[in-house]
Structure 1
Amino acid sequence: MANIKFEYLYRDEGNYKTYGEVIFSNPNQLSVEYITQRIESNLIEGSWFEPNKWNIPRFSFHQHNPFGINDLLWYEFDCLSQCHETSNSNSIDDFLERIISTAE
């Protein structure tokens, strides 16, 4: 059974990028196209998300918000793919439910 790899990144003001990923189980074998559509329809301005609301791990340099209160620390959705790596998070169904409920 294929899992789902969610890849994301953070761009600093110099356009330097830090990449991350989360591997979700996919017990109902949802298609990448369906999942991508659900994610994209819940992004901020079509590209960004707040990692805390989506329960996506922040990068270590953001753990204590050293950039101050005005830095929103939005992360950018990069891509989604099927993989056979071991899941390190909840199911993709739980993730989609979470992002849809935080948008309401």
Structure 2
Amino acid sequence: MASVAPSRLATLARLRSVIFQTSYNPTSQRTGAKYLKRRLRGPSMMDYYPQQLSFSAINKEFKGLDLIDEDEEQRLQDIVDKKKRGKGAPKKAKSAADSRRAQRKR
């Protein structure tokens, strides 16, 4: 039996990939196609975890209720108290000249 030339087999593989719309990878390099073809995890994760109700979402939906989130109010009060003691977050720089980096370079 006569064997088929390797160039003929390569041409056949290239033609097969065009016809069946697959990727032609004669050098067997890693392409990540396995991960790109895989089903996405996000939608099934969103279905698994139930939607959580929040006070802000309810207040947006029903304008007249004016519900008060006690945990959020406590958090805001804690921030005010920390700022009074000088333990709050630093102020953001309005420009590049106001930043701490610019002051350190001088």
> One fold, TM greater than 0.5?
no
Indicate the structure with greater helix content: 2
Interval of TM-score (by shorter of Structure 1 and Structure 2)? under 0.3
Mark the structure with the bigger radius of gyration: 2
